[in-house]
Amino acid sequence: MSLASNTARSTSNTKEPVPDIETFHGSSLELKNLTMAYGDVEVLRNVSLNVAPGTTTCIIGPSGSGKSTLLRGVNRLHEPKSGDVLLAGESALQVKPDLLRSRIGMVFQHFNLFPDHTALENVALALWSVKGMPKAEARERARRRLAEVGLAERADHRPRDLSGGQQQRVAIARALAMEPEVMLFDEATSALDPELVKGVLNLMAGLGRRGMTMLVVTHEMGFARKVADQVVFMDEGEVVESGTPADLFDNPQSERLQRFLSEVL
Amino acid sequence: MDWLSTITRTFFDFGAMAEVLPQLLGVGLLNTLIISVAATIIGVALGMVVAVMGISPSRWLRVPARIYTDLFRGLPAILTILLIGQGFARFSQSIFGPSPYPLGIIALSLIASAYIGEIFRAGIQSVDKGQGEACRALGMSYAKSMALVVVPQGVRRVLPALVNQFIAIVKDSSLVYFLGLLVTERELFRVGQDAAVLSGNLSPLVMAGIFYLLITVPLTHLVNYFDNRFRTGRRRPAAPSSGLKEVKELAAASPLTTGSNT
């Protein structure tokens, strides 16, 4: 029922069929020598990363290591300085940013829900305004997505009337409704009350099981260990170490990762 | 008590007040409201354009907006009204006829739009950056994210400031009289002023002042009401509920979270 029962992630490519639930068709994601800068300061240097379709990659590392910047480079909320991002094998830098972003879902630490819209409108907004779906159809799909994250009864609530966990689930539903090929999570549970963290993490793990390609920046080491197919440790704008959860957590090679793990575990 | 009766006669001559009342109501109040409301509507429309230009990523939109704002905010209203009212008189004559009334409204609108543009800009910029980012991350264009999410939030926040601006416009509308209005076009101040000159008594002006206060004072209080309402918003009144309840709700309702191995 929970994360603990899902430890057998080594079998991730032979996904167990989930009855009555639609599966996703995640695309592959590849970063090639991605370098990103704010002004003259390079915050990400030569990061290369390969995320196979339908797998989950967790990015861990101390604050200021460039994890969030990396996510923002993938959907070009911040334009990379050099290098390339390949979505389903094609360069993301050659696509129009708006089109690219409609194919990549993103979930933020502080939810960023639209406060003057209800939960339902939050989910439906991009469906009609970006996908051009008729409003009634958009609302219908939004309702289904909300039901999937357990919020069918709260569809008409505004964000301020929802708890942090509920808000984050609306945000996930909002991103999922666009039928993205890849989901980016930027510390999605860092702002949540402790008792609500697990629910959101379970939801994310469920997406992974259903075939979504996910890039997850997280401080939840338990989640990374149990759910990730690949864990990437970053520090000072570089990938220091990457591999399976077992590799990194049980047998860290670099001194920096050893130090980091000794602080957080 | 000689001074008291002098004051009463000068300021509160009820006969003179009653005499000017029909004109204040029928001509003055009407024109003041027409001028103010028209200038506000045009000012809001122009102000929105100036605000959106002012926060545009493009310098070619930002700089003109900045200059426009500095110009009309920096000049005394009376100077702008005179320059525009007289400077464009010939131009206006071919469109609106000889009356300077439309030009007065336009001049007031330009002044108002500079202030309202700044109000809108501040409001829009106070919207959390994450709002725009969330829109962009969903694939919305800059224009759509502004129009559908960011600007409405910003505008809602500055409604009280807009009401204040309307109050300022109501008061500034008295300056239009400098352009020389026809008898039927006179606003509150001019009606009061004319009557005061005729009767040699300031009471009609006091009466005009009372009319201004009747417009502005209720609005100031409306602002406070708005301010409270928009700051707190409508809330569903709810007792604090345990986070554990939500854990249960999630487990019960969601097919996603109930693991695959059940």
Which of chain A's residues have a Cβ under 8 Å away from the Cβ of B259?
1-2, 5-6, 202, 206
Cβ neighbours around B194 below 10 Å, total: 18
* pLDDT above 70: residue A1: no
* pLDDT above 60: residue A11: no
Q: Closest residue of A to B239, CA-based?
A: A161
**A positions 200-259 inside 8 Å of B (CB):** 202-203, 206-207, 209-210
Q: Model confidence at B261, in pLDDT bands (50, 70, 90)? A: very low
Interchain CB contact of B70 with A (< 8 Å): no
Average pLDDT over residues B231-258: 63
* pLDDT 10s digits, B81-123: 999 999 998 888 888 888 888 999 999 999 999 999 999 999 9
Yes or no, beta carbons of B260 and A18 under 8 Å apart: yes
Yes or no, beta carbons of B235 and A161 under 8 Å apart: yes
* pLDDT above 60: residue A34: yes
* pLDDT 10s digits, B139-154: 999 999 999 999 999 9
User: Half-sphere exposure of A55 toward its Cβ, with a 13 Å CA cutoff?
Assistant: 22
The Cα–Cα gap between A65 and A63 comes to 5
Whether the complex's predicted ipTM surpasses the cut of 0.95: no
The Cα–Cα gap between B185 and B203 comes to 21
B240-247, Cβ contacts within 8 angstroms, sequence gap of 24 or more? B243/A163, B243/A165, B243/A193, B243/A195, B243/A196, B244/A195, B246/A163, B246/A165, B246/A166, B246/A195, B246/A196, B246/A199, B247/A195, B247/A196, B247/A198, B247/A199
Which of chain B's residues have a Cβ under 8 Å away from the Cβ of A97?
136
3-state secondary structure string, A174-222?
HHHHCCCCEEEEECCCCCCCHHHHHHHHHHHHHHHHCCCEEEEECCCHH
* pLDDT 10s digits, B151-166: 999 998 898 899 999 9
pTM: 0.83
- CA max distance for chain B: 99
User: Half-sphere exposure of B67 toward its Cβ, with a 13 Å CA cutoff?
Assistant: 5
In which element (H, E) is residue A233 found?
A: strand A230-235
Q: Model confidence at A110, in pLDDT bands (50, 70, 90)? A: very high
Q: Model confidence at B252, in pLDDT bands (50, 70, 90)? A: low
Amino acid A14: pLDDT: 45
By C-alpha distance, which of A206, A256, A232, A220 is closest to A74? A232
Which of chain B's residues have a Cβ under 8 Å away from the Cβ of A195?
243-244, 246-247
